[in-house]
Structure 1
């Protein structure tokens, strides 16, 4: 760091407080970058036994109250090595913390009010880091899921969506969060993960098993938590991210994939920062097995924007998040008739706004956080009759035009108390109000309210870490629910052992309760008498970390879960011509996951194997096995040149389908044949601020596989996998402007 910068910081330190001469002042730096380091926990104990705790500001500063010397201090940050020292007299102190570089230990926040290292968390967390996101060149949540073999991703060519499964179930049972805020978008029983952009995402945390204590309903199978980037600099920055990709051999201005994003970081003042960005992603159409006007991959365009305004001053931090998505898809129908040919074409327009205000205040041993969020989600469907002689006409039959809407308001307050250096407790209250409306809601407007109290406490007993959790929840439609959890962690040198139990639940969605849809071919009604789904989950795992120059992490995990009262479509017990929703099934799942990672300063290799077996308990049919393996390799040839490759190897995949034919319900098993997806790319840094990546997706050109005994939307027993081998080019350009109006490369 330049000398004038140190002088400036010293002057700032002298002016930092009117009570300077009565207090100690600490400033903490990152030893690698020489930049101030915020969010460092400073625990100190003076000669009289007085014990306090403080947190450094964005600029790395921290004031200590008057103490009796000598004072023992401990500086802790999840991403840095802990530093312990002793202060012998009042004054100003500067400390530098060393990053945990080279250690296979990520930082997580899911379920916590502050960051925590993976190795310290009693619950096992899978972290997809910013480096992995960059290596895969993933643009949305669907694409990055290839590196997580425990998640099964299904594509639906009719709706253009992609849906995830975890522990054998998916849809409403996987909760998707953005900086702790649940994303609305569950108009049916699925959540489209292709509508979640990775623009401005720093990392993704995946937790298997119920997270009901921390996040309530809809987290019965697990949580996917997206964490936004949080820039900390006094320099403004503009970034461009431009990607072009073929769809198999098709590419033009209207074919292929075009993904363009721009973002900016503006440090308005030393306490106030603003991140904002815009993006657009456009897909062309693609035929794989369809013919005529039918497309397996329909033309689609997405527009997205985000704004994050953050304020931090000493112990107080405030964050205002806003994000927007618009997704438009065109689905052309088949031509019918010979003399007067016509076709029925559908257009879908989805919009989602996410708004959240979060305030956090740290006071010695206490951290208080309050968050209010408002989500609005709408999906508009318009059906047109195209007679090929003029402009298409709006169809007038029942169900041809519809707009579904969901509004969700959530208030959440939490209090974390560091009771002692061995005991930490987090208590909270949460209130959620959800409204749904549209032409397919029987009551025209439906309302659901839920109130919850929860507590999660962690006890470090030296020989064992115990995390207990309990949530009481009351819903205006389903009554009370009591949801416990217990997790244990034991460190044995380089080996970490974990085990735990959690209970999960899912309240029926408003659409499931009040769905009302009638058209030429369907008569589907919701069921206001649905009961909540519930589950029990057990797991045990072991992780072994070793090495310095060659670092290794080996892990194995076993789990078992039971899901009860699962909601699915079935024939109405009173009228077989009506399809409704019932609590029809119980599902059991068990599995094992094995992982191995090796890393040096030059290269990183990771392999994960996942085996899961599922059984519909009510049918007592055979256990259905699914196997998946993911392999990731990256190598850095120099500071300018690097390469990476990712492979997802799927074994035979058994999908359980609730078949409704002739008024009789039956559970069918669809066996999807094995397939392998391989991507590879090379990145070259022309300058510090200009990076070019070129690569190939789906090297083996996998597009469809056979699905015996089932199929998706009647697609001739074929399961859509991918649009085919494609080539892509990505350019990232970052431009930083320093406070003295001198442009500077990153």
Structure 2
């Protein structure tokens, strides 16, 4: 037990015998003709036939990671980077060199609400309910509207399958993790996850399920080890409830789902030797998500699909004074108690008409209404966006597929681009070799916080800008892929791609022209990203693996004014996932690796009254996770492993300017090496 408290995390993952045998062949290594994807498609389609280049993270991969949230699944993916604000307890994402505001997060195709440019929703989803994750890089604004300039991450949840028999299912899981040597069993220090799911399918086609997960993170002391109350990485508690009811029969699939999240991130001050009173700050989130979706195969020629969602996202900042001796706590009258509420109503409907074997047409409408209120948000009328989009899939010859698309939008708060075009081409060079090319015009609407935010205290003076314009981009991509070929007894597939994106009116923070001491948001004229990726998958007997590399350049905004600086700052990445199956004992061993190269940048520096541009750099690092699972009994599986095996904690940085919740000097990347162990029970 002492060894467990110091070094192990207990993770419960259960598979039935049939599920275990199915998991032996991960979708990463199966023929691309057998892997179904849905993101951006008219109907589920094989990965090999998709006009879009879709990256799939399967349920088997998610289980092998032993993760408690999506960050633990995505952190070794090629081209994806995270930046964490350890004061607010939030993590943002980058794809293809573009930040979170340009990345659309979808839950079963429905966009999730976030407070602003940071994608908090990535850490507020029950990972135990995720069936798979589909990632499409590049602008998807014609299909999914605003924010999809860099691409979309579509999180697809588990669904109950109808059948001819009545059927119950029960899943129970427990997860424990050290942080890194700070651990108490099932509560307090460390990471603790418990989850339960109960489902029932009736032979009439009606199904229902309910789920609950509890995540508790005890924080990490870090450099303040002399005082156990103060944590460098803040403690966090989450309760996630979900329920679904659906009907699936005779070509009609309709279901309603409710998800609720309660999250509390706690930050405490440092008590003095003589005074037990400390300041305590809590960031409390309530998130309700109501979703109704339906698809109906009316005939061989017509398919209808509709989604409706209402989301209520409230973030409250609670400032209190706490007595460490008596346990008394009361609101601090000298600090602001702030509550911000964000409400979104969303409706989307599409129809697919099969004109002939060579022509399909998809018209669609989308309506999205955002409203917000709070002490730090100006009174506003919200934002309503109305869109109509039309695309077609044409196969003029047997090997060529073409999808042109147009989106028309009208917005109540800003001038949206009147027409957004896209064009995707796919040409089958041979049965296994595919060539894809695409052009897309993307746009991003200013978020409500960017338009109406106001915050002033002793260390902040920030004002939103209601006159912001929408960002827009022109993006081009081309890729060539080999679905499956053989090198002796080795089965392999490969992909090579390149992209270029040119942005205008990019939204960023700057000095307020009316008051140089304040910060505000403005439309910066230019920003660009470019680069390429190469990936390969190999399978030999019980050994499967993938390897990939990328080289991405991010635009230097000083290049226009200072001709002696480089136009792009380039950074490489390398990743590899390897799994070995030991069928004799029903076990798997997996290795997840990623190298993130140095991230160069530029900043202004004044010396002797002369302004010049200097190069900055964030240190490179390696992430390595080693995991294993084994089927113990028919319904029980045990997982164990080590995360961040190379013990990455801080990265050196030569940038001397800090943001609102950051400082110059070393950047905290992780709390270091941790160990996990656990069990999951799954009965059908």
What range is the shorter-chain TM-score in? 0.7 to 0.9
Q: Is the 8 A contact 1:456 1:469 kept in 2?
A: yes
Distance 1:489 1:665 in 2: 49
Q: Does 1:403 align with 2:339?
A: yes
Q: Does 1:249 align with 2:181?
A: yes
Q: Is the 8 A contact 2:143 2:389 kept in 1?
A: yes
Instruction: Specify every segment of 5 or more residues in structure 2 that has no aligned partner in the other structure, as ranges.
Output: 1-17, 19-26
Instruction: Select the residue among 172, 195, 202 that pairs with 1:268.
Output: 202
Q: What's the counterpart of residue 42 of structure 1? A: none
Q: Is the 8 A contact 2:399 2:427 kept in 1?
A: yes
Instruction: Select the residue among 241, 254, 267 that pairs with 1:305.
Output: 241
Go from structure 1 to structure 2 and tell me whether the alpha carbon gap of 1:452 and 1:329 turns closer, same or farther (over 3 Å shift): same
Distance 1:187 1:658 in 2: 27
Offset of residue 192 of structure 1: 5.0
Offset of residue 395 of structure 1: 2.3
Instruction: Select the residue among 155, 168, 173 that pairs with 2:84.
Output: 155
SS at match of 2:505: strand
Distance 1:174 1:539 in 2: 17
Q: What's the counterpart of residue 484 of structure 1? A: 421
Q: Is the 8 A contact 1:656 1:667 kept in 2?
A: yes
SS at match of 1:289: helix
Provide Cα deviations, 1:478-503, integer angstroms capped at 9, x if missing partner: 13421100011111112111111101
Q: Is the 8 A contact 1:102 1:551 kept in 2?
A: no
Distance 1:164 1:389 in 2: 41
Q: What's the counterpart of residue 570 of structure 1? A: 510
Instruction: Specify every segment of 5 or more residues in structure 1 that has no aligned partner in the other structure, as ranges.
Output: 1-32, 34-98, 737-746
Offset of residue 334 of structure 1: 4.0
Instruction: Select the residue among 412, 432, 446 that pairs with 1:508.
Output: 446
SS at match of 1:576: strand
Offset of residue 311 of structure 1: 0.5
SS at match of 1:611: strand
Q: What's the counterpart of residue 76 of structure 1? A: none
Go from structure 1 to structure 2 and tell me whether the alpha carbon gap of 1:658 and 1:606 turns closer, same or farther (over 3 Å shift): farther
* TM score, norm. by length of structure 2: 0.88
Offset of residue 520 of structure 1: 2.2
Q: What's the counterpart of residue 240 of structure 1? A: 172
Provide Cα deviations, 1:74-112, integer angstroms capped at 9, x if missing partner: xxxxxxxxxxxxxxxxxxxxxxxxx99941453211112
Offset of residue 637 of structure 1: 0.8
Q: Is the 8 A contact 1:705 1:721 kept in 2?
A: yes
Q: Does 1:258 align with 2:192?
A: yes
Distance 1:272 1:669 in 2: 61
Distance 1:658 1:192 in 2: 34
SS at match of 1:680: strand
Offset of residue 288 of structure 1: 2.5
Q: What's the counterpart of residue 13 of structure 2? A: none
Q: What's the counterpart of residue 735 of structure 1? A: 683
RMSD (Å) for aligned C-alpha atoms: 2.6
Q: What's the counterpart of residue 550 of structure 2? A: 610
Instruction: Select the residue among 652, 668, 671 that pairs with 1:706.
Output: 652
Provide Cα deviations, 1:667-713, integer angstroms capped at 9, x if missing partner: 98642111111111121101221100111111111111111114564
Go from structure 1 to structure 2 and tell me whether the alpha carbon gap of 1:410 and 1:642 turns closer, same or farther (over 3 Å shift): same
Q: Does 1:630 align with 2:575?
A: yes
Q: Is the 8 A contact 1:446 1:514 kept in 2?
A: no
* TM score, norm. by length of structure 1: 0.81
Distance 2:263 2:547 in 1: 34
Offset of residue 314 of structure 1: 0.7
Distance 2:372 2:662 in 1: 30
Distance 2:664 2:90 in 1: 19
Q: What's the counterpart of residue 461 of structure 2? A: 523
Offset of residue 580 of structure 1: 1.3
Provide Cα deviations, 1:301-360, integer angstroms capped at 9, x if missing partner: 111122222202212211112212221100113457x87675432100112111111122
Q: What's the counterpart of residue 408 of structure 2? A: 472
Offset of residue 585 of structure 1: 4.8
Offset of residue 197 of structure 1: 2.8
Instruction: Select the residue among 111, 133, 151 that pairs with 1:182.
Output: 111
Q: What's the counterpart of residue 38 of structure 1? A: none
Q: Does 1:651 align with 2:594?
A: no
Write out aligned runs for 1:83-122 (5 A). 102-105=30-33, 106-122=35-51
Distance 2:137 2:615 in 1: 24
Offset of residue 426 of structure 1: 0.9
Go from structure 1 to structure 2 and tell me whether the alpha carbon gap of 1:421 and 1:731 turns closer, same or farther (over 3 Å shift): same
Q: Is the 8 A contact 1:537 1:561 kept in 2?
A: yes
Distance 2:84 2:428 in 1: 41
Q: What's the counterpart of residue 286 of structure 1? A: 220
Distance 1:190 1:681 in 2: 28
Instruction: Select the residue among 664, 667, 670 that pairs with 1:719.
Output: 667
Task: Using CA pairs under 8 Å that are at least 6 residues apart, name the structure with larger relative contact order, 1 or 2.
Answer: 2
Q: What's the counterpart of residue 283 of structure 2? A: 348
Distance 1:425 1:269 in 2: 35
Distance 2:471 2:654 in 1: 30
Of 380-389 and 684-693, the range deviating more from structure 2: 380-389
SS at match of 2:653: strand
Distance 2:309 2:71 in 1: 25
Q: Is the 8 A contact 2:32 2:46 kept in 1?
A: no
Aligned pair count reads 635
SS at match of 1:687: coil
Q: What's the counterpart of residue 674 of structure 1? A: 620
Go from structure 1 to structure 2 and tell me whether the alpha carbon gap of 1:515 and 1:397 turns closer, same or farther (over 3 Å shift): farther
Of 703-712 and 631-640, the range deviating more from structure 2: 703-712
Offset of residue 504 of structure 1: 0.6
Go from structure 1 to structure 2 and tell me whether the alpha carbon gap of 1:666 and 1:243 turns closer, same or farther (over 3 Å shift): farther
Q: Does 1:357 align with 2:292?
A: yes
Write out aligned runs for 1:117-128 (5 A). 117-128=46-57
Q: Is the 8 A contact 2:348 2:365 kept in 1?
A: yes
